[in-house]
């Protein structure tokens, strides 16, 4: 990453652990600790899209919610433009949320069914700029609706009257109405049809270029992540195992887990698809309440050694490519 790029978000050793009470007859039994995110380091630059991928339950969504403050971080730092968000109180964090907004996975569930489209999109404006007149709010809402491809004449309709793709456009408009610097997209296209996914992803890319946005884009579909991302973070059991520029990471993955993920990506050429080698992982995903010692991936890793059980590898490298593995240089 070029030195002149402005760092928007600098995350260091971010941890999110949940206390889970055990079912026991003894009241003094200690609760278990579920390590949803267990030490992630990453930088996000101005105008950049960071893709976040990994299996279900690897901590992607918890990581995103900890960044925006919807989930309290157990440890670590989330530094936004030089200020640590983990040290802010509720009032100070509320003010910062003008610059950091979120798009959620389920388009319809994220919208209030009792509010019209116009009311939903206008809600952030009314919360942060109560001095605006009703006409100013309405005009800004219509302008934003046009940006995301919604006709102004639907402003008084309710969410249930729209398709999933249109509901997601409403969610995007609501997130962008305050003109934030960062949008966190938590699997925004996973509930949509493939053709609608492409429309929403292309819309996000277009709005990013027009408004100078930075994106954290969480998804399971690696083809979508490759299409939209500048860099990609690969997570496994709450840990960052590999991070790098999208082209480098997809063409030459280094970590065994990343290699397995990439080998599962479909190839549009039928001949190549039939002959490609898929690297299957053995065993099940360990419980985040009882993760393996040392490297969390060692129980499923084809190149694990005895040392992997005793030492947790750090994410070594730079912004172009970094990997967390004792047996990969």
Query: 298 is in which domain, residue-wise?
Result: 7-19+31-99+180-323
Q: Is residue 138 part of a domain?
A: no
Q: Is residue 328 part of a domain?
A: no
Q: Is residue 292 part of a domain?
A: yes
What's the pTM? 0.90
Q: Is residue 148 part of a domain?
A: no
Write down the pLDDT at residue 137: 95
Residue 271: half-sphere exposure toward Cβ, Cα within 13 Å? 0
CATH, residue 40: 3.40.50.300
Structural domains counted in the chain? 1
Write down the pLDDT at residue 195: 84
Q: How far apart are CA 64 and CA 183, in angstroms?
A: 10
The kind and range of the H/E element at 138 are helix 134-147
Q: Is residue 260 part of a domain?
A: yes
| SS3 category, 305 | coil
Extended beta strands in the chain, E state:
7-20, 32-45, 49-53, 75-80, 83-84, 100-103, 182-186, 214-218, 231-236, 239-245, 316-317, 321-323
Per-residue pLDDT tens digits of the chain, which is 329 residues long? 445 788 999 999 999 999 988 777 677 788 888 999 999 999 999 999 999 999 888 999 999 999 999 999 999 999 999 999 999 998 999 999 999 999 998 888 889 999 999 999 999 999 999 999 999 999 999 999 999 999 989 999 999 999 989 999 999 999 999 999 999 999 998 878 888 888 999 999 999 999 999 999 999 888 889 889 999 999 999 999 999 999 889 888 999 999 988 887 777 777 776 777 777 788 788 888 889 999 999 999 988 899 999 999 989 888 889 999 988 76
Q: Is residue 87 part of a domain?
A: yes
Q: Is residue 139 part of a domain?
A: no
Q: Is residue 310 part of a domain?
A: yes
| Closest to 182 measured CA to CA, from 98, 298, 57 | 98
Strands 182-186 vs 214-218: parallel, antiparallel or unpaired: parallel
């Amino acid at each position: 990453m070029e030195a002149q790029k402005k760092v928007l978000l600098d995350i260091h050793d971010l941890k999110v652990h949940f206390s889970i009470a055990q079912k026991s007859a003894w009241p003094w039994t200690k609760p278990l600790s579920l390590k949803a995110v267990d030490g992630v380091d990453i930088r996000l630059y101005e105008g950049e899209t960071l893709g976040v991928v990994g299996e279900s339950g690897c901590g992607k969504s918890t990581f995103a919610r900890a960044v925006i403050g919807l989930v309290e971080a157990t440890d670590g730092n989330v530094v936004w433009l030089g200020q640590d968000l983990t040290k802010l109180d509720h009032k100070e964090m509320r003010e910062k949320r003008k610059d950091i907004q979120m798009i959620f996975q389920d388009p319809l569930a994220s919208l209030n069914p009792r509010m019209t489209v116009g009311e939903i999109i206008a809600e952030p404006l009314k919360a942060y700029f109560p001095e605006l007149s009703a006409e100013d709010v309405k005009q800004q809402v219509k302008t934003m609706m046009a940006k995301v491809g919604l006709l102004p004449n639907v402003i008084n309709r309710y969410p249930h009257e729209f398709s999933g793709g249109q509901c997601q456009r409403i969610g995007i408009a609501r997130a962008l109405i305050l003109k934030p610097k960062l949008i966190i997209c938590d699997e925004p296209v996973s509930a949509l049809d493939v053709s609608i996914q492409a429309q929403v992803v292309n819309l996000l890319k277009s709005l990013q270029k027009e408004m100078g946005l930075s994106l954290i884009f969480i998804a399971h579909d690696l083809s979508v992540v490759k299409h939209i991302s500048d860099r990609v973070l690969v997570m496994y059991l709450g840990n960052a195992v590999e991070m790098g520029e999208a082209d480098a990471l997809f063409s030459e993955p280094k970590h065994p887990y990343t290699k397995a993920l990439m080998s599962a990506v479909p190839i549009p050429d039928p001949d190549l698809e039939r002959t490609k080698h898929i690297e299957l992982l053995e065993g099940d995903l360990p419980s985040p309440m009882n993760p393996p010692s040392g490297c969390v991936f060692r129980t499923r890793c084809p190149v694990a050694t005895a040392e992997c059980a005793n030492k947790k590898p750090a994410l070594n490298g730079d912004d172009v490519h970094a990997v967390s593995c004792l047996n990969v240089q």
